[in-house]
Amino acid sequence: MSKDETEIEALIQAKGLTRPRLTPQEVDDTIKAETYTTLPSGKVMVCELTLRNGFTVRGEAAVVSKANFNEDVGRKISRENARNKVWELEGYLLQQRLYDDLLEAVKTERHACSICVWMVLQDELEPGADDKGLEGWMREAEQRVKNRLAHHRTEAPLPQPTPGAGFCWLVEEFGPEGNSTGRYMLDQGALTTTTDVHAAKKLRRWQSAGLRALDMKAQHKGDWRAIEHGFGVGKP
């Protein structure tokens, strides 16, 4: 890293420009070997840099008059020209990584959005569901997307349903020891709680209860889970 690059790097750090970028040191770390060749004309020096993955780049330094050719100067200039090509290649790789991360984020968001919007529409069909109107349901879907995105990489998989019918799902809070705290989700829109298990919101689908558990965790913190209980689905 040259003196000018060191000063520029210090200025960048001082201004807090820390978003993804290449540094001179990262470029230099990519270079694993270098060779120099003077062409038969005696006027051209070629520097070949071998990168850590085996790829090679070349830079040249040339003079018009052979009498002006100097090996030390030729090495310095040809290496600088070759190194500039490494900057371009590494810059492309960094941009590609950022692009791939963006595609993955978009894919994740679309998946979460599809699930959450579908589940909101399913909840609207639940007996006794609040009439939120189109705007209300879409706002709820948006919030669910945000909750799901915030937890999708750290949360355990949604609970699987127990075979058989005649049961419903409650969203229930558990303590650090793994025991129920006796708190349940009361209202799936306002995300309120109750200690009366009979008053708790009863859901027909484990998928809906699992997503509601994520909502409750985002709203109230703690360990909220979708738990199957022995209530008849049709009972209030």
* 156 is a domain residue: no
Alpha-carbon torsion (209, 212, 214, 220), positive or negative:
negative
88 and 36 in a single domain? The answer is yes
The two tokens of residue 225 are 């889970």
Are residue 147 and residue 177 in the same domain, yes or no?
A: no
3-state secondary structure of 234: coil
The bridge status of strand 180-187 relative to strand 168-174 is antiparallel
Burial of 173 (0-12, 13-18, 19+ CB in 10 A): buried
Please list the rounded mean pLDDT of every run of 10 residues in the chain (236 residues): 81 84 91 96 97 96 96 96 95 89 72 60 54 62 62 47 60 90 88 91 80 86 87 45
Q: Report yes or no on 157 lying in a domain.
A: no
Residue 97: closest CA among 9, 18, 22, 12: 22
Is the domain of 93 the same as that of 111? no
pLDDT of residue 163: 46
**Domain termination residue (choose one: 67, 83, 98):** 98
Instruction: Please say whether the beta carbons of 111 and 103 come within 8 A.
Output: no
Distance between CA 171 and CA 208 in Å, rounded? 10
Q: How far apart are CA 124 and CA 132, in angstroms?
A: 8
Residue 235 lies in a domain: no
Same-domain pairing of 108 and 188: no
How far is residue 164 CA from its own chain's centroid?
38
Domain residues for 59?
A: 3-98
> Residue 115 has what pLDDT?
59
Claim to verify: residue 108 and residue 94 sit in the same structural domain: no
User: CA–CA separation, 11 vs 26, rounded Å?
Assistant: 17
| pLDDT for the residue numbered 36 | 97
In this prediction, residue 59 carries a pLDDT of 97
112 and 145 fall within a common domain = yes
Give pLDDT, residue 18. Answer: 76
One domain, residues 108 and 125: yes
The answer on 110 and 55 residing in a single domain is: no
Q: How many residues can be counted in the chain?
A: 236
Tell me if the pTM is above 0.75: no
Residue type at 228 in one-letter notation:
E
113 and 62, same structural domain? no
Give a yes or no: residue 93 inside a domain. yes
* Residue 158 forms part of a structural domain: no
91 and 110 together in one domain: no
Same domain, 217 and 190: yes
Q: How many domains does the chain have?
A: 3
In a shared domain, residues 69 and 113 = no
